[in-house]
Amino acid sequence: MIKMAGNKRFCDGTVIALLLIAVWTVSGCVDSYAPKVISPLATSTEIIGTSVQNRPIECFRFGNGPHVILFIASIHGNESFGTPLAWELINYIQKDRRLLNGRTILVIPVANPDGCAAGTRENINEVDLNRNFPAANRINITEYGTHPLSEPEAVALKEVIQAYHPARVVSIHAPLSCIDYDGPGQTIAENMARVCDLPVTKLGAHPGSLGAYVGESLGIPVLTLELRATDRELSADELWAKYGRSLVAAIVYPEILY
């Protein structure tokens, strides 16, 4: 069971720093993109669950406001170049505290650590985590998991959503080169698209996906940032230059970017 912000399960900055070193050493996942700065006073972190292979799944929390925005990267392990973008977001949030006025921002940089380490879309059980949520349109087949939430990584994400009731969720994927949305997220997607070179494209909610569950079943806007395949070659700085404003737009909507 996930505990809310302020619970003693959240750690102080020293523990966070040690934890970061441990996590990135164990995971072996794009560790060259580790965050440049973690301010001890700016963040709390929680291990929201563990993968099949016992890797921790971390959620970084910033702020305490009532408007909660959740960012998720690398639910598909072979799309892990979304993770450095998530780390860049963490760096940026700590520099620009205006983002936290009235808000809580949650960032999960690596939602599928086993798949990320193996370079596979699925988790180590060969299940697509983005088909494992208890959405109305879910299909019980082996590659989607034999039942909803059969995979611990999907359970961890579902519990975060249950605990925090985010107003919107942004999930970073690749390589479909667009901004997709599920649930009531069209205007947020349009605002994100205004400040990057990706179009808004309605792809449709796949069975048992995060978009189908959170967007369509729970009615919470889900914005899917689908990076380009060529973005894999970019540095973290270059990724942020291309897409940072789009992520910030997702945070501040309906406010205008400053």
Q: Identify the bridge partners of residue 62 per DSSP, sorted by sequence position.
A: 105
Q: State the minimum distance, in angstroms, from the CB of residue 2 to Zn ion.
A: 24
Examine the residue annotation and report whether 226 is marked as an active-site residue of this protein.
Answer: yes
**194-211: b or e for each residue (b if 16 or more CB lie within 10 Å)?**
eebebebbeeebbbbbbb
- Cis before 66 (ω within 30): no
Q: Which of 173, 223, 246, 248 binds Zn ion (CB under 5 A)?
A: 173
Q: Report 46-85 residues binding Zn ion (CB under 5 A).
A: 76, 79
Name, in order, each residue with C-beta under 8 angstroms of 148's C-beta and a sequence gap of 6 or more: 132, 133, 134, 135, 138, 208
Name residue 2's amino acid.
Answer: I
Select the span of 9-17, 33-41, 170-178, 205-213 touching Zn ion (CB under 5 A).
170-178
CB neighbourhood size of 64 (10 A) = 13
Query: Among residue numbers 79 through 118, which ones bind Zn ion (CB under 5 A)?
Result: 79
- Residue 42 or residue 212: which is nearer to Zn ion going by CB? 212
Going by DSSP bridges, is the β-strand pair 176-182/168-173 parallel, antiparallel, or unpaired? Answer: unpaired
CB of 76 to Zn ion, least distance (A): 4
If the CB atoms of residues 74 and 217 are measured against Zn ion, the closer one turns out to be 74
Q: Which parts of 97-221 are beta strand (E)? A: 103-108, 168-173, 176-182
Instruction: Please answer whether residues 52 and 162 qualify as being in contact, where contact means their C-beta atoms are separated by less than 8 angstroms.
Output: no
Q: With CB under 5 A as the contact rule, which of the stretches 23-31, 97-105, 166-174, 199-207 interacts with Zn ion? A: 166-174
Count of residues touching Zn ion (by CB under 5 A): 3
Scanning 137-145, 152-160, 169-177, 202-210 for contacts with Zn ion by CB under 5 A, the matching segment is 169-177
Assess 131 for contact with Zn ion (CB under 5 A).
Answer: no
Q: Which of the residues 46, 88, 226, 233 is marked catalytic?
A: 226
User: For Zn ion, which is the closer residue by CB, 55 or 76?
Assistant: 76
* Gap between the Cα atoms of 247 and 109, Å rounded: 14
CA distance 258 to 160: 29
Part in contact with Zn ion (CB under 5 A); list of ranges 101-109, 152-160, 167-175, 246-254: 167-175
Residues catalogued as catalytic: 226
List interacting residues with Zn ion (CB under 5 A): 76, 79, 173
